[in-house]
């Protein structure tokens, strides 16, 4: 999994280095969070990402000679799917913490 240094202080250049790892689903959760936050606020990076995504996916399509109906060229959908994944990850993590707290309270009440 790819992980960038200094997630809190990522510049446009740092974010642009994450385009390919993002497209390949290789970002850590913290990098994915920083990436999506930046993409939601930076029009320039969003436009640059759209170009990268189109070119990379187009090249992959040509290399793999896939059926045209299977070819997905929607960079915005990739971002939405990543945001959905991140939300589900956070909900699952919260549920785990709640379950752990309930179990700890249960153990304390037993003694």
Q: How far is residue 23's CA from residue 72's CA, in Å, rounded to a whole number?
A: 12
Mean of the pLDDT values across residues 98-109? 91
User: pTM (2 decimals)?
Assistant: 0.74
Looking at per-residue confidence, does 16 or 109 come out higher?
16
Q: What is the pLDDT of residue 10?
A: 83
Q: What is the pLDDT of residue 89?
A: 94
Q: How far is residue 76's CA from residue 49's CA, in Å, rounded to a whole number?
A: 10
Q: What is the pLDDT of residue 60?
A: 81
Q: What is the pLDDT of residue 109?
A: 87
Q: What is the pLDDT of residue 73?
A: 67
31-89: per-residue pLDDT in tens? Answer: 999 999 999 999 999 999 999 998 988 888 877 765 555 566 688 899 999 999 999 99
State the residue for tokens 């969003």. 46
Banded model confidence at residue 8, pLDDT cuts 50, 70, 90:
low
Q: How far is residue 108's CA from residue 5's CA, in Å, rounded to a whole number?
A: 40
What would the two tokens of residue 36 be? 């999506």
Q: What is the pLDDT of residue 62?
A: 79
Residue 78: which residues within 8 A CB-CB, separation 6 or more?
Answer: 22, 23, 53
């Amino acid at each position: 999994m790819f992980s960038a240094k200094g997630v809190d202080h990522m510049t446009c250049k740092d974010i642009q280095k994450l385009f390919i790892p993002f497209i390949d689903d290789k970002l850590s959760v913290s990098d994915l969070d920083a990436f999506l936050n930046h993409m939601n606020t930076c029009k320039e990076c969003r436009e640059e990402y759209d170009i990268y995504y189109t070119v990379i996916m187009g090249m992959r399509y040509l290399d793999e000679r896939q059926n045209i109906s299977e070819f997905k060229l929607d960079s915005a959908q990739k971002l939405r799917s990543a945001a959905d994944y991140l939300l589900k990850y956070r909900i699952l993590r919260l549920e785990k913490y709640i379950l752990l707290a309930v179990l700890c309270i249960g153990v304390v009440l037993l003694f």
